[in-house]
Amino acid sequence: MFKTGRYILAGLLVTPAFAAVPTVKVLIARSLDHVVVEGTDLTKTIHTQKRSESYVGRKKISFNCAPSKAFSGRFPKNALLVASLSSPTGLVSWGKNKYQGELQLLTNPGQERCDLVNRISLEDYIKTLLSKEMNGTWPVEALKAQAVAARTYAFDRLKHDGNVQLEQEKLYHLESSEKDQVSGTFFDVTAKTLQASKETEGEILVGPSGRVTPAFFHSKCGGKTLRPDQVWGGVEEGYRSVNCTFCQKTGMRDWNYKVHNQKMTSMIDQVLKKYYSEKLQAGQLKVMPDTLENSEIRLYAGDRLHIIKKSYIRNMAGRQLLPSNNFTISMQNGEFLAKGHGYGHGVGLCQLGALELAKRGYDYRQILSFYFPRHRMKKVY
């Protein structure tokens, strides 16, 4: 695999798609009853009333998210931008956390609650994210690989018909959660995350055709990465499953869990209904021989054969029972036994593998080339 001990990522394209660093809107909290924002020389804009007000010195501003306080009328069915708060210092506080950029208050659709959004420069977003999605003390080359992957994922959420969409078109682009990416705050920035963002500024991954697609990442693949279609069903350009031995000695060890027959039967029934529009026939479940290479399991319910994606079973079972998509299921003493490797969905960049490669002297381009062998780097600003 490593014929020369290194992988060289395809040439870096330097023609920028646009000049300015884009702004990203990140949902940081949902369904809040009461919001208190604090800062110096704050400017408050109430969008529902089309008015702004500025304050001198330190100021604390409270929002009651009841409809009568936030705006006139009932809460709308769709989210609505209610208020924005910013400071010339570049920092605004919510609770114990300081955020760069602007904080925006949205209505939560159908509820008498508020959602909170951080409108922030994409590069400032990457600086805070690295300590949350990886580790701010890891080797900088691993952090740089993570920075490019996370920036690519965010950039994909910003684009529209091949262009960066006007940021006013969406109330938010990403959630700060495992659904998208977990972002941090001003205090999560470290010297290494700052360096990783700065030295990869504007760099993203694109597929063989030059199209931007999301760059996924996970904690530990357990020996082999997966393609998006093996996990979620949708095909993303350029992905290839790669064998990875670099994460084996770190992170979560191999795992196994017993699942009672009744619980497994219930989960399989729910999976069939949700993803296949099928019902489970009466009769004892029988699992066919399985290997880690299989992305699906084959089982009989009575005399009917079902072929089910493992990722669908994991979605239903939860991450505590099935920590990764890299597992086998067998029968043992009348119970189901799930054995597996790794942690996370297994698609794209293996973070613990990247850590080991960085320790061995590989730079971020070589790390990305290993996990995304058909992608190439592009500088977009």
**For all residues of the chain together, what is the average pLDDT?**
88
pTM of the model: 0.86
Residue 367, pLDDT above cutoff 50 = yes
Cα 318 to chain centroid, rounded: 17
* Segment 315-337 mean pLDDT: 89
Q: Which residue from 240, 238, 224 is spatially nearest to 375, judged by alpha carbons?
A: 238
Name the pLDDT band for 17 (thresholds 50, 70, 90).
very low
Confidence of residue 6 (pLDDT cuts 50, 70, 90): very low
Residue 9 has a pLDDT of: 47
Please compute the mean of the pLDDT values over residues 189-215 and round it to a whole number: 96
Span 184-207, mean pLDDT? 96
Query: What percentage of residues in the chain have a pLDDT greater than 90?
Result: 65
Distance of CA 15 to the CA centre of its chain: 28
Which of 88 and 75 is assigned the larger pLDDT? Answer: 88
pLDDT beyond 50 at 20: yes
Phi and psi, residue 351, nearest 5°: -65, -40
In angstroms, rounded to a whole number, what is the distance separating the alpha carbons of residues 6 and 363? 9
pLDDT of residue 334: 79
Q: Could you tell me if 372 and 247 are in contact, meaning their C-beta atoms sit under 8 angstroms apart? A: no
Structure confidence at residue 67 (pLDDT): 56
| Predicted local distance difference test score (pLDDT) of residue 195 | 97
Q: Is the pLDDT of residue 352 over 50?
A: yes
Task: Please report which confidence band the pLDDT of residue 235 belongs to, taking 50, 70 and 90 as the band edges.
Answer: confident
**Spatial contact of 156 and 209, defined as CB atoms under 8 Å apart:** no
CA distance 262 to 336: 10
> Which pair of structure tokens corresponds to residue 381?
């600003």
